[in-house]
Amino acid sequence: MIAPTSTPPPSAPSATGRMAAVQDMARLQRLLFEVEREFVRTATTLIYRVGEPELKYLLSQHVWESAGHARFIRERGRELSGFGTGENVRPELRRLFTEAVMPADGYVALAGFYRVLKPALLAAYRHYLSATHHLADWPSRKLVEEFIADEERHAREMETWLGAVDATAWIAHLQPALAALGGLLGEQPRSPLPAGYVWESAGRKFAHPATCNRGKYPTCSSVFSLDPDETPIVRPWLVDPQTDARVIRLMVYVWLMMELDAVDYLATIFIDTPDAPFDLHHDMARHLWDESRHSQFGYRQLPKLGVDLLTLEHSLDLYNILVQMPPHERYAMMTMEFEAGSFPTKALVMDRVRELNDFEADTLLAFDRNDEQNHVRYGHRWLPEIMALCGDTRPVEEFVKATQARFAAMAKVHGGRTPHALPPAQRLTGNKILQLAGVT
């Protein structure tokens, strides 16, 4: 029976009351989204401060997976009433993650992230499972169950790297800051900060180191030159049709491994763009993980071809120059200059390597090229956004040309400062690559 229109409708509970169960879970999802995106923004500062390539690779992977977590949570959260439409991070949460980057020693900071913040995130995901209904919120639960498995794996993968320094004092400093929030979701009683607690981030700003850490590996300014007795990559040899394809394969693996410099300088941009749209950081996290994988191509393949990695110097010029420039200029040089400009040479290299019928090499180079094409697309999409964040209103083309000129000027000041760590007799050079390739 339908009531006549003259009959007033019965009083109803508030919309909040009707939807309280959904909104409570949406609020927790919103916090989880904010935590994951703050991890992406700040954990990237660890990458260029630790030395081991494998640790840099692992951190890049964790950052990319966290960006994926945040994106899936956002997509699910937007299906729920109460998640909100914006992407702002609560100031108290941002303060905690900003504090976590402050140690001068990157390994101390690493311990703070993986002994305090990551366990708290795992606890937050587990709390979500305990708080929601197994059937009503099934889509969210399936995501969270997968993310818990990721977090548990992250903890296992990082355990090997956490004993480099004694971080006891720093861990004890971060724990009260976390407790003052009542956990990352506020799921625990809040504890007041100890009397006299001092926020390191209140007294100074985080500053990128002037050079990146490469641990035990020897360093130099650049692995590219015209002299086969100086560096492993001899520029004319890469494009000379008379160069043996086996030599080109070795040189391009060195080139790929040295994309570790891209990992280091790209990682600096996240914390310098705190107000960036999340999708920008998401795509940069993918870019970072791609560059990490490309570096691993060389890192894994060179020893198979007889290269002792401790004889291969790591080039530091690009980081040393770019870290002196603002983030929009760093990003412009990476996407619009270095990557866009590499396609012609890499195309010739790919054709030459195909002569060897080396399926693995062909596969790695094909994926490298595919990824780099995507990165240039990212540059076209996001460079105007980063320029706007940095207050630069010039047309993009004009800005890129000016940045190229500025980089050239900065290179004269900050480039070429890293001497060869190894004498010619010990370091990998072009002529030694000839010997490894069996070319007389």
**Amino acid sitting at position 130:** S
Query: Which CATH architecture does the domain made up of 21-186 adopt?
Result: Up-down Bundle (1.20)
Q: Averaged over 177-195, what is the pLDDT?
A: 96
Q: Which letter does DSSP use for residue 385 in this model?
A: H
Q: Averaged over 97-121, what is the pLDDT?
A: 98
- The pLDDT assigned to 313 comes to 98
- The pLDDT assigned to 13 comes to 45
**Amino acid sitting at position 380:** H
Distance CA 381, CA 368 (A): 20
375 within 8 A of 290, measured Cβ to Cβ? yes
Which whole-number Å values give the CA distances from 181 to 99, 177, 190, 192, in the listed order?
14, 7, 6, 9
85 burial via Cβ count (<10 Å: 0-12, 13-18, 19+): exposed
Distance CA 187, CA 132 (A): 13
Q: Is the pLDDT of residue 3 over 70?
A: no
- The pLDDT assigned to 409 comes to 98
The full set of domain ranges for the chain reads 21-186, 219-436
Q: Residue 316 is encoded by which pair of tokens?
A: 């530091």
Percent of all residues in the chain with a pLDDT value above 70, rounded to a whole number: 96
pLDDT bucket at 12, cuts 50 / 70 / 90? very low
**225 bridge partner residues:** 234
Q: pLDDT tens across 312-363, in order?
A: 999 999 999 999 999 999 999 999 999 998 989 999 999 999 999 999 999 9
